[in-house]
Chains A and B, each alone.
Chain A
Amino acid sequence: MATYVLRRLIQAVPILLGIAVISFMIIYLAPGEPIDRFRSGRVSPQTIENLRRLYGLDQPLPQQLLSWMVAFFQVWRVDAWGYSFTDGQPVITKIAARVPYTLELMGTSLFLTVIIAIPVGVLGAVRQYSWADKIIMVLATIGYAMPTFWLGLVLKFVFAIKLDLFPLFGRHTYGDDSIGDLVWHLVLPVMTLTIVSVAGWSRYMRSSMLEVLHQDYVRTARAKGLPGSRVLFKHALRNALIPIVTLLGLTIPSLLVGAAVTEAVFAWPGLGGMGVTAVIERDYPAVLAFVMVGGAMVILGNLLADVLYAFVDPRIKY
């Protein structure tokens, strides 16, 4: 297992390199120059030239790419990912400061998604074509079709404006650092993210369970004389969860996107909002770091999915 993980991590390096090349190409092909944001009447051409040298923009592109890549992996150094164009802070510390905020949003939502979607999906599968199943499927289909940001707006309107139950945006009330206040602020963004992902997950769980319920070994279990609940929970559910566990790793990227949009709607101070701002501000060091971190998350999510797979399915050995 350890060698497998190591091999996968080594294989990730060329992929990250590819991501870096693509990002560099996009920036290079885009009209204008990264330091254009510093140009103005009051900045002398000499200063601009100095800036270009400072950021290494005077060097040939492959050279730039290489030195940037080398620096990127030295994550123990504060300046590894460069300094932000907007406030001069090291990008790595800026990103690190935001990670916990995004994690509390994503983590809560993921947890709720799992404990809601699995029972709902199982219920739909076991009572296939019943009224309960039809209602679940209709709600899940609509939930799946709802854009995250729109749902956020609607929830915000209903619960924050009309009913005035929860705050409109932000992570805490100024001057109040209590847990209660944080939870109060978390409710709407988490609800937004959770509704959308429960819709997707319960559909997935339902079809996975349906597939398993038609397997021969479920019939074997019934032929043994096991009661329905044991057949369902011991024999069927255990197998139906296998693809769900892998989904856990694979949804990390899409959860990140959902989180970014939700953060924008509720002004949550997480990574997503920061990324959007970085792009608007043309803060290139931050933008590049974001693409790389995002890519690393996708790769690690895939790896996590495969590792979890080996844990839950005895047929998989690495």
Chain B
Amino acid sequence: MTVHRSDRPLLEIQDLRTHFFTQDGTVKAVDGVSYEIGDGKTVGVVGESGCGKSITALSVMRLIEQPGRIVGGSVLLRGRDLLRVDDAEMRDIRGNQISMIFQEPMTSLNPVYTCGDQISEAVSLHEAVGRRQAWERAVEMLQLVGIPDPARRAKQYPHELSGGMRQRVMIAMALSTNPELLIADEPTTALDVTIQAQILELMKSLRERNRMAIMLITHDLGVIAEMADDVVVMYAGQVVEQSDADTVFAKPHHPYTTGLLASIPRLGEKRQRLEVIQGVVPNPLNLPKGCLFKRRCPHAMPVCDTPPPLQEIARGHLSRCWLTPAGEPPAVGPEATGELAEAAASALQAPA
């Protein structure tokens, strides 16, 4: 455990709810998500596509577009609720205290402006510097992110650069204002494996240099293992497991996390076949009652018809599952003891 620079964590997401009001019905893309990010910490957020991890990030930035809307909760940046500041204040925070980089470096840069223009635009927006200084900073940043011949590259258009180079430009742009928090939404997914490793290395070194926190969104547990201090596992708009990275990898509790880990191939390991999680992500318009994962869960039990709460199963380790901390089915009956067993018992007695 590290000591925080202030008494409050950098970012606290509390009971965040972001819903999409589509023609076919309401999609609860983010439904009561809470987690926090400490100063200089890297939090990995994992889950399948559509689990709400990106929507959570966009909600923090207040970049949710129609038909989506943040309907509840709060996002505290050093104790200040971002969901309640006015638009001008929020603009001041965006790209300054919190920066974001996106999955698709190919389409995330404006094709009609040079890379240097786009970086210096961010600089001059948030800092009282002249055009020339902003441009010099852009070139500096390009150098910092390891782009050779930065002065020339700054004058080039995005289409003249490769995907990896463009993601470096995105990172340069995001870091040009020294943000306290970098939100990286699948930063390496669209890149070749070797380029992926380079970009991760770059992010690591810049994290040390700037002492910034990172919200790293990915579906790739390999990336998490490489980078993250803490891990948040999301499923169907909810957090299902949360702990420090070592615990999640060593002692996963939620069957979904276990499934994710089992589906990673490992070098030198002899396995007949890769484990997969059975079934598909539930239709967001037609979520199952009770535990959202029960249809795909190898441990599904009658009690799963009641939604399990997110509970601390060990110090700093939260899981949304009825299994006991040891991973056993909860004992139900007179011999059962403990909070979880009691909750399970009352859940079973209540009409579903």
Q: Give the interface segment out of B91-99, B324-332, B340-348.
A: B91-99
Q: Which residues of A contact B95 (CB under 8 A)?
A: 223-226
Beta-carbon contact of A225 and B126 below 8 Å: yes
Q: Which residues of A contact B112 (CB under 8 A)?
A: 238-239, 242, 312-314
Beta-carbon contact of A220 and B159 below 8 Å: no
Beta-carbon contact of A223 and B94 below 8 Å: yes
Q: Is B318 an interface residue (CB 8 A)?
A: no
Q: How many residues of B contact A (CB 8 A)?
A: 27
User: Which interface residue of B61, B96, B110 has the most chain A CB atoms within 10 A?
Assistant: B110
Per-position binary interface string of chain B over residues 82-94, scored 1 when its CB falls under 8 Å from any chain A CB and 0 otherwise: 0000000001111
Q: Give the interface segment out of B100-108, B141-149, B253-261.
A: B100-108
A-B contact count (CB 8 A): 69
Beta-carbon contact of A217 and B121 below 8 Å: no
Q: Which residues of A contact B102 (CB under 8 A)?
A: 216, 219-220, 223
Q: How far is the CB of B191 from chain A (nearest CB, A)?
A: 15
* Docked CA distance A312–B92 (Å): 31
Chain A interface helix/strand/loop/mixed:
helix
* Docked CA distance A222–B96 (Å): 12
Beta-carbon contact of B121 and A223 below 8 Å: no
Per-position binary interface string of chain A over residues 205-222, scored 1 when its CB falls under 8 Å from any chain B CB and 0 otherwise: 000000000011101111
Contact of B159 among A223, A224, A315 (CB under 8 A): A315
Q: Is A88 an interface residue (CB 8 A)?
A: no
Query: Which chain A residues (291-314) contact chain B, with CB distance < 8 Å?
Result: 312-314
Q: Is B157 an interface residue (CB 8 A)?
A: yes
- Interface size of A as a range: 20 to 34
Q: A314-B157, A315-B157 are in contact. Are A221 and B63 (CB under 8 A)?
A: no
Q: List 22 A-B contacts (CB under 8 A).
A: A215-B107, A217-B109, A217-B111, A219-B63, A219-B102, A220-B102, A220-B109, A222-B94, A223-B102, A224-B125, A224-B173, A225-B91, A225-B92, A225-B94, A225-B96, A225-B125, A225-B126, A226-B95, A238-B110, A238-B113, A239-B111, A314-B157
Q: Which residues of B contact A215 (CB under 8 A)?
A: 107
* Docked CA distance A227–B108 (Å): 18
* Docked CA distance A215–B109 (Å): 10
* Docked CA distance A227–B92 (Å): 9
* Docked CA distance A221–B117 (Å): 12
**Closest A-chain residue to B102, C-beta based?**
A216
Q: Which residues of B contact A220 (CB under 8 A)?
A: 102, 108-110, 170, 173
Beta-carbon contact of B61 and A315 below 8 Å: no
Beta-carbon contact of B111 and A216 below 8 Å: no
Q: Which residues of A contact B91 (CB under 8 A)?
A: 225-227
Q: Is B212 an interface residue (CB 8 A)?
A: no
Q: How far is the CB of B117 from chain A (nearest CB, A)?
A: 10
Q: Is B122 an interface residue (CB 8 A)?
A: yes
User: Which interface residue of B63, B92, B112 has the most chain A CB atoms within 10 A?
Assistant: B112
* Docked CA distance A239–B170 (Å): 19
Q: How far is the CB of B187 from chain A (nearest CB, A)?
A: 13
Q: Which residues of B contact A171 (CB under 8 A)?
A: none
Q: Which residues of B contact A312 (CB under 8 A)?
A: 112
With contacts A217-B108, A220-B173, A224-B173 known, what are 6 further pairs, Cβ within 8 A?
A220-B170, A224-B99, A224-B121, A225-B126, A242-B112, A314-B111
Q: A224-B173, A315-B157 are in contact. Are A217 and B125 (CB under 8 A)?
A: no
Query: Which chain B residues (58-95) contact chain A, with CB distance < 8 Å?
Result: 61, 63, 91-95
Q: Which residues of B contact A203 (CB under 8 A)?
A: none
